[in-house]
Amino acid sequence: RILAVYLNYLNVQHLQVLELGILVHSLIIGISLGTCKSPCIIKPLMGALSFHQFFEGLGLSGCIVQ
């Protein structure tokens, strides 16, 4: 029983660290996107943002399911 509680605690900690990493990463990309003035830079950043957000969502949902 104690082992199960400890493993659950570790899973919650892992999920929180993952979410913090996603938050910081999204914040940096958002600031980069917000400060860009050139459409030549904005278009690739939007593509990268969409691509990364999709796979971050998959990773986070996989972590939550465990």
pLDDT tens, residue by residue, 10-61: 778 888 888 888 889 888 888 888 888 888 888 888 888 888 888 888 887 8
Alpha carbon separation from 58 to 5, 6, 33 (Å, rounded): 26, 25, 23
What is the model's pLDDT at position 48?
82
- Report the number of distinct structural domains present in the chain: 1
pLDDT over threshold 80, residue 7: no
Range of the domain at 47: 2-65
CA dihedral 21→23→27→33, nearest 10 degrees, is: 90
pLDDT over threshold 80, residue 64: no
What is the model's pLDDT at position 65?
80
pTM of the model: 0.66
